[in-house]
Amino acid sequence: MPLIPLRTLLDHAAENNYGVAALNVNNMEQIQSIMEAARETDSPVIVQASRGARSYSQDAYLRHLMLAAAELYPDIPIVMHQDHGNSVQTCLSAIENGFTSVMMDGSLQEDGKSPSDYAYNVRVTAEVVRLAHARGVSVEGELGCLGSLETGMGEKEDGHGFEGKLSHDQLLTSPEEAAQFVADTGVDALAVAIGTSHGAYKFTRKPDGEVLAMAQIEKIHKRIPNTHLVMHGSSSVPQELQDLINKYGGQMKQTWGVPVEEIQRGIQHGVRKINVDTDNRMAITAAIRKVLWETPEKFDPRDYLKPARSAMQEICKQRMIQFGQAGHAPAVRKLVP
- Give per-residue pLDDT as tens, 113-128: 888 999 999 999 999 9
Q: Which of 162-176, 255-269, 287-301 has the lowest mean pLDDT?
A: 162-176
Question: What is the pLDDT, as a whole number, of residue 222?
Answer: 98
User: Is residue 83 among the annotated active site residues?
Assistant: yes
Q: What is the pTM of this model?
A: 0.96
Spatial CA neighbour of 108 closest among 151, 162, 148: 162
DSSP codes of every residue in 262-306: HHHHHHTTTEEEEEE-HHHHHHHHHHHHHHHHH-TT---HHHHHH
Q: Spot the catalytic one: 11, 83, 111, 169.
A: 83
Q: Which residues of 230-239 are buried (b: 16+ CB within 10 A; e: fewer)?
A: bbbbbbbbbe
pLDDT tens digits along 198-218: 889 899 999 998 899 999 999
Cβ neighbours for 130, distance < 8 A, ≥ 6 positions apart: none
Q: Where are the alpha helices (DSSP H) in 17-110?
A: 28-41, 51-57, 59-72, 88-96
pLDDT tens digits along 44-93: 999 999 988 998 999 999 999 999 999 999 999 999 999 999 999 999 99
**Per-residue pLDDT for 167 more than 80?**
no
- Classify the phi-psi angles of 213: left when phi > 0, otherwise alpha if psi is within -120 to 50, otherwise beta: beta
Instruction: Select the more confidently predicted residue: 134 or 55.
Output: 134
Look up residue 105 and give its DSSP letter.
-
DSSP codes of every residue in 32-49: HHHHHHHHHHT--EEEEE
Question: What is the pLDDT, as a whole number, of residue 157?
Answer: 66
